[in-house]
Structures are given as C-alpha cells and as structure tokens.
Chain A
Amino acid sequence: MGTAAHGSNSNVNYLNEFKGIKSWLLSLDHKRIGLMYMISILTFFFVGGIMALLIRYELFAPGKQLLSPDQYNQVMTYHGAMMVFMVIVPGIPAILGNFFLPLQIGAADVAFPKLNLASWYVFMFGAAIAISTFFSTKVDTGWTFYTPYSIKTGTAVVAMVLAAFVMGMSSILTGLNFIVTVHKLRAPGMTMFKVPLFVWAIYSTAILQVIATPVLAITLLLLAAERLFGVGVFDPALGGDPVLFQHFFWFYSHPAVYIMILPAMGIVSELISAFSHKVIFGYKAIAYSSLGIAAVSFIVWGHHMFVSGQSEIAGVLFSFLTMLVGVPTAIKMFNWLATLYRGSVTFYSPMLYALGFLFLFAIGGVTGIMLASMGVDVHFHDTYFVVAHFHYVMVGGTLMALMGGFYYWFPKMFGKMVDDRLARMTFVLIFIGFNVTFFPQFILGAMGMPRRYFDYIAPYESLNKISTMGSWLIASGFLLSLYAMIKALKSGEKAPSNPWGAKTLEWQTSSPPPHFNFDKKPTVTGGPYDY
C-alpha cells in the first residue's frame, strides 16, 4: 500500500510532483487550476450559505428577529449576487469542467493553459471587488440591479456591477478556452459523437458563456455610466427606458440560467450511465438537446417581464417560446429514465444525488412551465412561488448535481475514497432539508406572499417556520459533506483508478492522474458508454 515512495513512478501525480505555494499559484495545470477554483468557490458558497441562513432566520417569525429591514435587503442582495456570480455560474464549469473536460477527451491540458490561470486571477479580482463593497456601503438592490432604484440608491452599485463585469470576463475566457479545447484537442479517434455527455454539456455552456456574457458586460457598463455620467439610457426623466435595462439584463441572465443548469445535466448523464452500468439511452438526443436548450435560451428572456409593461403580443410570444424549453429538457429527462430501465442500478452516493436531481429538477421544471404561462404568472409574479421554483432548479438541480459530481470524481481528484455511508447521509439531510425548506414556499407563493420582503403577515407564519427549520437541515448536510471529504483526504482508503467501473477516459488513467494526464496518449475506438 502506498507509502509515499519517491522515485516510484506510479506514486508521482499532479498533486505531489511539484511542491510549494508557488507551484499552485503559478500552475498551468488544468487540474490544479480546477482545485484552486474549488477552494475559492466553496469559500464563497460558505459565505453565501450563511447569508441564506440569516435570511431564513429573519423570516422565522413576523417582525424583526435579528436584522433591520435595510440589513435584510443587503443580506438578500449579497446572498443572490454571490450565489449567482461567484458560485453557481462558475461552479461546475470552472471546477469540474476544468478538471475533467481535458481528461474526458484524452487531452493533456486545455487549449490555453495560461489563459486558464489568468481566468482564475480575473475571477478572484472580481470577487475581491464584490467582497470589498460589503465593507463600504452595502449594496441593497437585489442581484438583478434593476433600474431606476439601482441608479438612485446611495450604495456601492458601481463597484458591484464592475465586479460582476470582471467575473463575467473570467467566464467568457473560460468558455472560449473550453470551446477551442473541445474542437481541437480531442484524442485521435474521438469524434464529436464519441465525447462523453458531460463534455457536450460543458461545450454548450461554453457557447452560452461566450455569446451571452458580453451583453451583460455592456449592460453593466451602461448602468455604471448611468450612475457616474447620467447618460440617460435607462432614465425616463431623460427620455431613457428602465424596462430596456430589464431586456438587456435578461438577455444575458436568462441564458445564464442555462449556464447554471446545463453542466449539471451533463454530470447527471455521466452518473446515470455509470451507476446503471448501461450505455446511455439516446446519446445523440441528449447531446443535441443541450445545444437545443442553449439556442432556445436566447429567445425567452421576455418571460421575466410579463408585468413590466411590455406589449401583450410580446408577452404571448415569450410565453409560448418559453414553453419550448420544456421540450429538450423533457427529452433529457426521458432518456435518463430510459437509461435506468433494466440497468444494474447501484445506489452509491453519487447516484443518490443524480436521482435526487431527477426528482427535484422535475418539480423545478414543471413549475417553470406554470410560470411560463402568462396568465398564471401574473398571479405568481414576485411571490415566493418564483423563489421556490428557481431554488428547485438552482439548488435542487445544479447543487445536487455538483455534489453528486464531487462524490463521483473525488477518488479521481484526490486518490482517496470517501466513506460512502457518510456521503449517503449527507444526501438524505440535503434532500429532505431542501424539500422542507422550499416546498412550503410554493404554497406561500400561491397564498400571495411577496418575495424580497423583510416581514410578513401572521397567516404565513407556520409555513415560514417549517421553511426555516429546513434550512438548518440543508446546512447540516453540507457541513457533514465537508467533514466527510476532509476525513477522506486525511484517512480515506486509497482509490483505485476506476472505483465505479465507469467507461469514460478519465477512469483509464491513475488516481490521481499524472501531471500530463495520461502516460500514453489514448486512442479512442468505441463510444463513451460501452458497457
């Protein structure tokens, strides 16, 4: 068993080949950069999570618990902005995509390793700006920075939008890097229809990152210019239009929703196939539906503005177009279910997270269709129904898949096995906690409780209490996960190169992989899921 024997080739890997803090901070290795993203993003997730707990604690009962109304607005803004721009958007692509995209296509690195490292620094620079605003005048606009309030509030909006701009730049550079990597660095024999579905998902996401983010960039610059120079584009007093801000903002931020969910779908495809020990059902349909979702995502942004005064014709069109998203999404769902059918399913923790994803994402998706119908949305708009819906997608979807991905690939990343009994317990806590937190919010929303308010009336109290208690369950689940992973790092069993018996390329190299990924460049003949 592996005592760190120097000189023995098999024990040299990307983690121990170079030592010292400089070998990390200046590393061009996509695996190390992925881990650097992991540490930073998990830290932000921890802070954003504390904000979430504060929000729920404040809403435990009517009236003031802990936060003043102004503080509540600030905490809510930072929870949203951090979770969106610093956790969920970069999360899967920058951590797991960085680490596994080159491995899965049999490449030695991403196309532009220096740019990859630069993206991390750009991201951290943006994050530093965002965090610095927390120590000046805390922003209270909500993460969407809607005008006209964002022009009028006396808080550090300019710094915050510049932070989002800088992090957007990092997102663009990562996406660009991945597109070129997928086009140019696939191993010999690996055609586009032989790449794993996680690669298809990251690739579709990268296209969205490159095409949508520049529009956010100009929107945020215009907002900053509006505050600094009063240019008037979003200011009705000068002939400008505040709804134009919403159009611009959602033209990015709706595709951004799919930047958040597509990589999660990619992970689920991997997990379902690996733990059913069966070739994925409808490979091409899943691959094309990723591109389909990416394409449709650009023409649905108006569903955020059903009550903002856009024309009724536009509303009807956007309502109809939004429902189209359900088609490629359902194609994925049914293909995953068909993969499970008659597979040899094993219920290790990653698979539990994948099944949890299917369940929660189905609820998130179907309530999305409800919100897409304009008549229903007029009632649900700006209520807790919407909050519950997007948390089912973002947390129930993306974070469940991210956790599943972590547990699935942990042995490959660190060469240690996680105690699966502990890992399954984290799933139970998070899954139950999540439903306890957010299901009551559907009911609250249907009862008319508006979102973003610091206070509420007495009839909403009991459901809010349940919701807050659920948030404690989720928190304990994530803390237990942290414990399970630290324990695995310290005293976990040594991982074999392919503990799950999966077929994709990353499992054919040692755990953890060597610095250049493969001792010998792989040549591909079969598909990614030849069980």
Chain B
Amino acid sequence: MTTNVSHGEHHHSHHFDSAEHEYSSDKEGLWLFMVTEILMFGGLFVAYAIFHSIYPEMFSEGASHLDWRMGFINTLVLITSSLTMALGIFYNQQNQPKKAFWNLIATILLGCCFLVIKYLEYSGKFHHGIYPGRFLDMAVVNPVHQNLGLYFGLYFCMTGLHGIHVVIGMSLIGWVAVRTYKGHFNSHYYTPVEGVGIFWHIVDLIWIFLFPLLYLVG
C-alpha cells in the first residue's frame, strides 16, 4: 500500500538514513532504558536478599500476613494484560487498528483491576495496624519478630514502586491507544506501541518476581 509507505517515510528523521535505521536505534534506546529500570528494582531485590539472609523468620511471619490468593489473582491479571498488550502491537503491525485499540483498552482495564486489588490489600493491611517500618502498630499486630516493620517497609516499597510503574504504564498505553485510534500506526510504523509494550512486559515481569518473594516465602 503506497499510502503506508509514505506514512512510514514521514517518520524518518533527518539524521537517520532510513526508517529501519531509526527503528533499530529507537529499539536499542528502549532496551537500554529497560536496563535502568531493572537495575533500579535490583537495588530493592538486593536489600530483600540481605535482610532475608539476616532475618529469615521475619519474612515467613510477614508473608503469613499476606493473602496469597490476592497476589495470585493479580499475577493472572497481569499475565493476561501482557497478552492483550502483545495483541495490541500485533494488530497494529497487521494494519488492524480497531482490534489493536480494543486490546490496548483491555490492557488498561486489566491494569485498573490490578490496582483495585492492590488497593483492597493495602487498606486491609492498614485496617489491621500494618504499616511500614516504625509506624507498624505493635499493640495491634503483636508480632513474634520484633523487626516485622522492616518486612512491611520492604513490602510497601517494592509493591509501591511497582504500583507507580503500573500507573505510568497505563498512562503510556492510554497515549498509544489514542494514537492507534487516530490511525497513526501501521505495518511500517509502530515503534511507540512496541516500546510501551516492552515497558509493560518488564513491569509484569517484576511482579512475577515480587509475588513469590513476598507472598509465598515461608
């Protein structure tokens, strides 16, 4: 389709030789950014590993306060959202923007679903006096391990930072969904959708590590 070709060329900036050249550069930049995301969460995982080796019993007590069913449902929700995200990219590549659009909307809704469940979990914890670190209500929780607050400090930091990423991811998906709806993407140009998709998959992947480490450790 000639219109698509001209559309593709429209997106090739002056300092690149071709659209493919620009696409491969964009992809490399995106992956490098993902490296920084993983390294940032890596700091939290290192802190987790260190404290887990010092206070293993604190972690099993902490996990016993969490409801693994909630975490499990959220894992399923995010894995499904990764599927719809991938379909959103796929249908854009296949010049089917309508289907792509609805899959992206489904991804956003699944993200909302994840956040609602997370909200229920957080409010349940607060209701039982479980706050991070020094705000943990010792009288109400009556923990066996005196440092239980530290476990929940890590829990809230790790899931909180992840939650912020889910919100950022949803906004980005909203942005590419609007552009998909306006017909900006086609089989020659879909870099932003793919980039947002990569980000979303990384956010999911981090949750897949958080779930067993926080809920199932024991």
Contact (Cβ within 8 A) B32 A176: yes
Contact (Cβ within 8 A) B40 A179: no
Contact (Cβ within 8 A) A229 B28: no
Contact (Cβ within 8 A) B146 A231: no
Q: Which residues of the partner chain B approach A179 to less than 8 Å between Cβ atoms?
A: 28, 32
Q: Which residues of the partner chain B approach A213 to less than 8 Å between Cβ atoms?
A: 36
Given that A109-B15, A213-B36, A214-B37 are contacting pairs, would A233 and B150 also be in contact in the complex, using a CB cutoff of 8 Å? yes
Contact (Cβ within 8 A) B32 A180: yes
Contact (Cβ within 8 A) B153 A215: no
User: A residues 54-91 with Cβ under 8 Å of B?
Assistant: none
Does chain B have a CB within 8 A of A172? yes
- Interface 1/0s, chain B 29-50, versus A by CB < 8 A? 1001101110111111011001
Q: Which residues of the partner chain A approach B156 to less than 8 Å between Cβ atoms?
A: 229, 231
Does chain A have a CB within 8 A of B149? yes
Least Cβ–Cβ distance between B26 and chain A, in angstroms: 8
Does chain B have a CB within 8 A of A239? yes
Contact of B132 among A111, A221, A232 (CB under 8 A): A232
Total number of residue pairs linking A and B with CB closer than 8 Å? 131
Contact (Cβ within 8 A) B35 A217: no
Contact of A230 among B37, B41, B135 (CB under 8 A): B135
Q: Which residues of the partner chain A approach B39 to less than 8 Å between Cβ atoms?
A: 211, 214-215
Contact of B50 among A115, A237, A244 (CB under 8 A): A244
Contact of B47 among A185, A235, A244 (CB under 8 A): A244
CA distance A185 to B13 in the complex (A): 12
User: A residues 226-252 with Cβ under 8 Å of B?
Assistant: 226, 229-233, 235, 237-241, 244, 248
Least Cβ–Cβ distance between B170 and chain A, in angstroms: 20
Least Cβ–Cβ distance between B212 and chain A, in angstroms: 21
Does chain B have a CB within 8 A of A103? no
CA distance A244 to B49 in the complex (A): 12
Contact (Cβ within 8 A) A218 B43: yes
Task: Count how many chain A residues have C-beta atoms less than 8 Å from C-beta atoms of the other chain.
Answer: 41
CB nearest neighbor in A for B43 = A218
Does chain A have a CB within 8 A of B117? no
Contact (Cβ within 8 A) A232 B28: no
Contact (Cβ within 8 A) A239 B14: no
Does chain B have a CB within 8 A of A454? no
B42, B47, B154 — which one has the most chain A CB atoms within 10 A of its CB? B47
B15, B28, B46, B161 — which one has the most chain A CB atoms within 10 A of its CB? B15
- The 28 listed contacts between A and B (C-beta, < 8 Å) are A109-B14, A109-B15, A111-B25, A112-B26, A112-B29, A176-B36, A179-B32, A180-B25, A180-B28, A180-B29, A183-B25, A184-B24, A185-B15, A211-B36, A214-B40, A214-B43, A218-B43, A218-B44, A229-B132, A231-B132, A231-B157, A232-B149, A232-B150, A233-B51, A233-B154, A238-B133, A238-B149, A240-B153
Binding site for A on B (CB under 8 A): 13-16, 21, 24-26, 28-29, 32-33, 35-37, 39-44, 46-47, 50-51, 54-55, 58, 131-135, 146-147, 149-150, 153-154, 156-157, 161
Binding site for B on A (CB under 8 A): 107-109, 111-113, 115, 172, 176-177, 179-180, 183-185, 210-211, 213-215, 217-219, 221-222, 225-226, 229-233, 235, 237-241, 244, 248, 516
